[in-house]
């Protein structure tokens, strides 16, 4: 399987390198372009639809591998998982491609995303179905009335999370690649060969596209790419980690820590400032870092570093679940990350540049601590 995985990665990488220039020409021909405006950071018309190159290279290689891999190595359940990912992913890529060209209504996109999630749940019977009691070993079945809506919510939520950070050249693709690499690492730890193989192929597809998408970009992934990568992340993280609880569910949440936290702070920011929740703004993480004076490339690399940190925490937590300290370590990691996220958000002003409750509290506590030490 190692040789198959390496071959799949190389094939997907090569295909993406070949297909992306063709998709670029196609995007210009059909008018799927991104026109600069006050909220955009680019200054010239750019082709979209880059997600088609990622999707096509990934899908073609996966289908080829399914034909090559013997049945004794590819169980029927694994083929079912792959079928769910490809079928739902096809619906999502078509939705994204149409949106790249025609700017579809937000409500219509949301309904189609729910439809894609329902295909996964009802068409392929894939859903979260087990609950693990925190700090214990008891496993209990999760009723369908909870498991089904939770699965649909997870798929739709993660699908849209990647789209929100797609604001700089190479940002969404790079963060997605880091998240996929993290899932691949955890798949190795947990012995889930199907998740590892799919992650390797998708990683090759993303990196091949990223060659043309990193600053200065020659093509954007568009909604087609952002939605497809978000859907793929939702599926792969869910397939590998279906023991759901407040504690164990932290693992897939950490994988998408950057887009998830950016989405959370965007909701809080718009609510605090009494702005429509669905209205785009220039208050996202990458906008705030650029406003602090960081260049386009440095901003992207810094966010890569944050994503890698989240991914490393996820891999560590996954490895520790096999020990008796896994839940406690996860709990500590949650507390530390929440604290660091709040401090970071206040420092860069991602919610409100004038509100720094935790930093102000620490500043008031510091003189008291110093006076006691004297």
DSSP-derived secondary structure for 270-293: HHHTT--TTS--S-SHHHHHHHTT
**In this structure, how many other beta carbons lie within 10 angstroms of the beta carbon of residue 368?**
9
How far is the C-alpha of 120 from the C-alpha of 56, rounded, in Å?
20
Strand partners, 172: none
Q: Is 99 annotated for ligand binding?
A: no
Query: Phi first, then psi: what are they for 288, rounded to 5°?
Result: -65, -40
Residue 257's Cα: distance from chain center in Å?
A: 8
Q: State whether residue 67 is helix, strand or coil.
A: helix
- Other residues' Cβ atoms within 10 Å of the Cβ of residue 125: 10
Q: Is 139 helix (H, G, I), strand (E, B) or coil?
A: strand
Torsion of CA 55, 60, 61, 62, to 10 degrees: 80
**Residue given tokens 């709040």 in the structure block:** 342
Both structure tokens of 173: 């693709």
Tracing tokens 């690649």 back to the chain, one arrives at 177
Partners of 130 in the β-ladder: 141, 243
Is the distance from CB of 108 to CB of 115 less than 8 angstroms?
no
Helices H / strands E in the chain, number of each = 14, 5
And the tokens for 321?
Answer: 């679940």
Is 163 known as a binding-site position? Answer: yes
The CA-to-CA distance between both ends of the chain, in Å, stands at 64
List binding-site positions.
Answer: 163, 223
List binding-site positions for Mg(2+).
Answer: 163, 223
């Amino acid at each position: 399987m190692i040789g198959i995985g390496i071959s799949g990665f190389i094939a997907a990488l090569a295909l993406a390198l070949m297909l992306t220039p063709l998709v670029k020409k196609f995007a210009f021909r059909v008018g799927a372009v991104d026109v600069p405006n006050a909220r955009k950071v680019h200054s010239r018309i750019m082709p979209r639809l880059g997600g088609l190159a990622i999707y096509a290279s990934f899908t073609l290689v996966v289908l080829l591998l399914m034909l090559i891999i013997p049945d004794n190595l590819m169980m029927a359940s694994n083929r079912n998982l792959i079928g769910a990912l490809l079928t739902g992913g096809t619906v999502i890529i078509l939705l994204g491609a149409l949106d790249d060209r025609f700017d579809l209504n937000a409500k219509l996109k949301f309904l189609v995303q729910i439809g894609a999630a329902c295909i996964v749940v009802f068409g392929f019977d894939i859903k979260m179905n087990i609950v693990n009691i925190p700090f214990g070993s008891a496993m209990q079945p999760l009723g369908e009335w909870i498991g089904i809506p939770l699965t649909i919510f997870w798929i739709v939520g993660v699908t849209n999370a990647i789209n929100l950070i797609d604001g700089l050249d190479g940002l969404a693709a790079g963060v997605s690649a880091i998240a996929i690499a993290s899932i691949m690492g955890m798949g190795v730890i947990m012995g889930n060969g199907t998740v590892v193989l799919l992650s390797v192929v998708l990683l090759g597809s993303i990196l091949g596209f990223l060659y043309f998408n990193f600053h200065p970009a020659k093509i954007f992934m568009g909604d087609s790419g952002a939605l497809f990568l978000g859907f793929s992340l939702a599926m792969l993280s869910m397939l590998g980690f279906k023991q759901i609880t407040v504690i164990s569910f932290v693992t897939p949440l950490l994988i998408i820590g950057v887009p998830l936290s950016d989405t959370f702070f965007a909701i809080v920011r718009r609510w605090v400032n009494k702005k429509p929740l669905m209205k785009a703004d220039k208050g996202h993480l990458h906008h705030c870092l650029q406003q602090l004076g960081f260049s386009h490339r440095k901003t992207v690399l810094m966010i890569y570093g944050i994503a890698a940190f989240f991914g490393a925490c996820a891999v560590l937590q996954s490895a520790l679940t096999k020990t008796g300290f896994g839940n406690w370590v996860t709990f500590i990691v949650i507390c530390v990350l929440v604290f660091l996220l709040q401090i970071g958000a206040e420092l860069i002003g991602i919610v409100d540049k004038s509100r720094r409750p935790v930093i102000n509290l620490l500043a008031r506590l510091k003189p008291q601590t110093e006076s006691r030490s004297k």
